[in-house]
């Protein structure tokens, strides 16, 4: 989408959105390329032992068509939600494409979610179909009675009681399928937010969301794609960052995507993977970059072919920015966005748009400002809230079943982010902090309410509050303050038990790494926890 330009200002002047009235993500990322060359490489799947599977666009078209036919045979219609609980794999791409072709709504879920987190999302979304593996089947087993809308569970690892074999059903399905005629504004996917002011909200996106992301991919990856490009991210494809900042845009451009399952991110393994797969472009969140810093002399030990690195999800920091130049011989381009409206600010070293400590300038096509409480842009250098103006093709349609929350997200035509920032005299945006209680840890935005609710489910806990504690590696860690019920006493063993309680029920990235027992919780007269006072104690 981006025109060729020598300067950022010229690029902004020349840019025009190209969003057709009728558009389908599945056809775009799959059938379009398969029609030209079915043998074109779409995904390079690298196993832990170094074996590779070369997945073509022809395979992607056939497999997604078969899956669309399976969905239709089981009563899935336009607008129905199809949940995907899987790690990075070629099947995930095919499941997404097949869901979009049918006009259904993809619901990506992370395998690291615990049973309570999954239960809420599956119940709230009313998902009809779930595709997972043996690990996911084990988690879902205890929830089936709570999910009346869930009519079919498919597993990549084979059939068992109440679970059908994904591969078996696809093998019997037809490989021919005519995609549903969808408009660019029809719903395509739903990604749950972190739940900053309550339970997580389902951000419903239209098919146009992929086209809206393209300028925000091209800019931080120095006019992506270039000949020979090959994309990889360690971010789970269940998150907006992995799905919309890497997988789908790359397939749109016909650029091969590298997939690999990390049970736990390992910097040595990441370097090995990038060298083994010939990765040219990478989206690496700041926490992962900080972990990569622990490996000495990577360019001397690994034959890296990196051309571009984009990073976002939390502040990169000047030290990591400088290290990136030394370690990779290139400038890490930082970008910014939210689940509701992603990739709206970016750096681009190729155009000279790069400043340590800044999150970039507006991506062409996006109107971004720092506004006051009345919705008016503030003066240069003045603190305010980062906001994006509508209409905007990357912006979400609504919060699922929460019309009041959707309305509250906007001040006039400005979609508010809840993030405080300033714009300097050169037009660079700087992230200052949040005006809500969201915790930014290892690239994840974590809402405190879900953690607190989980802790309150433990018989020893009377009150709980979760805040972020600054951490040099993860930006922040989750710290929980707990008031115990009568009959329970603070102890190291109880703190460990509470940590495991949350980790098992929510996810590995949300459990509190620190727990402090307190006698009284600071609260307002209306019964709200004053987290500001707790943050002062960390």
Q: How does pLDDT run across 257-309, given as a tens digit for each residue?
A: 999 999 888 999 999 999 999 999 999 988 888 889 888 888 889 999 999 99
Tell me what pLDDT residue 195 has: 57
> CB of 127 within 8 A of CB of 192?
no
Tell me what pLDDT residue 526 has: 43
Task: Report yes or no on 522 lying in a domain.
Answer: yes
Report whether pLDDT(7) > 70: yes
Report whether pLDDT(31) > 60: yes
Task: Report yes or no on 312 lying in a domain.
Answer: no
Average pLDDT in the 345-362 region? 95
Give the span between the Cα atoms of 302 and 298, in whole angstroms. 6
Domain that holds residue 117: 24-43+54-206
> What confidence tier does 525 reach under pLDDT thresholds 50, 70, 90?
very low
Long-range contacts of 302-305 (CB under 8 A, 24+ apart): 302/271, 302/272, 302/274, 302/275, 303/275, 304/271, 304/274, 304/275, 304/279, 304/328, 305/274, 305/275, 305/278, 305/279, 305/280
DSSP state at residue 91: H
Average pLDDT in the 345-363 region? 95
Report whether pLDDT(4) > 50: yes
Structure tokens at 341: 């409206």
The percent of residues above 70 in pLDDT, for the chain, comes to 97
Q: Which of 54-58, 181-185, 456-460 has the lowest mean pLDDT?
A: 456-460
Mark which of 206, 240, 271 sits at the end of a domain: 206
Task: Report yes or no on 218 lying in a domain.
Answer: no
Tell me what pLDDT residue 436 has: 66
Task: Report yes or no on 485 lying in a domain.
Answer: yes
Each residue's pLDDT tens digit, 485-521: 999 999 999 999 999 999 999 988 889 999 999 999 8
Average pLDDT in the 217-237 region? 97
The H-assigned helical ranges of 74-207 are: 90-102, 115-125, 134-141, 166-172
Indicate the Cα dihedral angle 272, 274, 278, 282, nearest 10°. 180
Structure tokens at 80: 């129905």
The structural domain count of the chain equals 2
Cα atoms in the Cβ-side hemisphere of radius 13 Å centred on 372: 8
Q: When comparing pLDDT for 318 and 144, which is higher?
A: 144
Mark which of 172, 206, 240 sits at the end of a domain: 206
Task: Report yes or no on 110 lying in a domain.
Answer: yes
Report whether pLDDT(447) > 90: no
Q: What are phi and psi of 288, to 5 degrees?
A: -65, -40
Contacts for 492 with CB less than 8 Å, ≥ 6 apart: none
Task: Give the chain's mean pLDDT.
Answer: 93
Structure tokens at 92: 């995930």
Q: Beta strand pairing status for 444-446 and 439-441?
A: antiparallel
Q: Please indicate, yes or no, whether the overall pTM of this predicted structure exceeds 0.85.
A: yes
Report whether pLDDT(196) > 50: no
Task: Report yes or no on 90 lying in a domain.
Answer: yes
Task: Report yes or no on 9 lying in a domain.
Answer: no
Task: Report yes or no on 112 lying in a domain.
Answer: yes
> CB of 42 within 8 A of CB of 257?
yes
- Return the CATH number at 134: 3.40.50.12780
Report whether pLDDT(127) > 50: yes
Q: Which of 59-68, 504-513, 523-532 has the lowest mean pLDDT?
A: 523-532
> CB of 287 within 8 A of CB of 475?
yes
Mark which of 206, 228, 261 sits at the end of a domain: 206
- The length of the chain, given as a count of residues: 538
Of 209, 169, 197, the C-alpha closest to 23 is 209
Report whether pLDDT(363) > 50: yes
Each residue's pLDDT tens digit, 382-430: 989 999 999 999 999 999 999 999 999 999 999 999 888 899 999 999 9
- Return the CATH number at 481: 3.30.300.30
The percent of residues above 90 in pLDDT, for the chain, comes to 80
């Amino acid at each position: 989408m981006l025109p060729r330009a020598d300067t950022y200002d010229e690029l902004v002047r020349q840019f025009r959105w190209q969003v057709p009235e009728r558009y389908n993500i599945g056809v775009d990322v799959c059938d379009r390329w398969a029609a030209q060359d079915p043998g074109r490489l779409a995904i390079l799947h690298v196993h832990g032992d170094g074996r590779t599977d070369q997945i073509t666009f022809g395979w992607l078209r056939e497999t997604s068509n078969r899956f669309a036919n399976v969905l239709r045979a089981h009563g899935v219609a336009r607008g129905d939600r199809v949940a995907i609980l899987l790690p990075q794999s070629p099947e995930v791409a095919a499941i997404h494409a097949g869901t979009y072709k049918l006009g259904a709504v993809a619901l990506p879920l992370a395998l690291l979610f615990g049973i309570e987190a999954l239960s809420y999302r599956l119940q709230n979304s009313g998902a009809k179909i779930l595709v997972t593996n043996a690990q996911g089947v084990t988690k879902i087993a205890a929830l089936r009675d709570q999910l009346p809308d869930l009519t079919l569970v498919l597993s990549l690892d084979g059939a068992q009681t109440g679970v059908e074999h994904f591969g078996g059903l696809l093998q019997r399905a037809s490989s021919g399928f005519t995609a549903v005629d969808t408009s660019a504004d029809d719903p395509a996917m739903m990604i749950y937010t972190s739940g900053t002011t309550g339970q997580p909200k389902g951000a419903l996106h239209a098919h146009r969301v992929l086209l809206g992301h393209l300028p925000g991919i091209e800019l931080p990856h120095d006019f992506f794609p270039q000949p020979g490009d090959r994309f990889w991210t360690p971010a789970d494809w269940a998150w907006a960052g992995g799905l919309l900042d890497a997988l789908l845009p790359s397939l749109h451009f016909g650029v091969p995507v590298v997939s690999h399952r990390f049970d736990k991110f390992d910097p040595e393994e990441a370097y090995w993977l990038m060298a083994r797969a010939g990765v040219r472009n990478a989206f690496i969140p700041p926490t992962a970059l900080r972990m990569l810093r622990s490996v000495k002399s990577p360019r001397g030990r690994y034959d890296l072919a990196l051309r571009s690195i984009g990073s976002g999800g939390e502040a990169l920091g000047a030290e990591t920015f400088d290290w990136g130049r030394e370690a990779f011989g290139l400038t890490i381009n930082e970008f910014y966005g939210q689940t509701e409206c992603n990739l709206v600010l970016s750096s681009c070293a190729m155009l000279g748009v790069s400043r340590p400590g800044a999150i970039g300038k507006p991506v062409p096509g996006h109107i971004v400002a720092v506004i006051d409480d009345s919705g008016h842009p503030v003066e240069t250098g003045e603190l305010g809230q980062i906001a994006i103006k509508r209409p905007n093709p990357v912006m979400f349609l609504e919060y699922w079943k929460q019309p009041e929350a959707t309305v509250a997200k906007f001040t006039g035509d400005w979609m508010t982010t809840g993030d405080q920032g300033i714009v300097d005299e050169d037009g660079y945006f700087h992230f200052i902090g949040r005006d809500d209680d969201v915790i930014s840890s290892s690239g994840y935005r974590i809402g405190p309410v879900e953690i607190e609710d989980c802790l309150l489910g433990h018989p020893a806990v009377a009150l709980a509050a979760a805040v972020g504690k600054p951490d040099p590696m993860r930006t922040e860690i989750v710290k929980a303050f707990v008031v115990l019920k009568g009959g329970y006493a603070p102890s190291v063993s109880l703190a460990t038990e509470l940590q495991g309680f949350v980790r098992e029920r929510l996810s590995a990235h949300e459990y509190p790494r620190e727990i402090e027992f307190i006698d009284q919780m600071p609260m307002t007269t209306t019964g709200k926890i004053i987290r500001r006072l707790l943050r002062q104690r960390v």
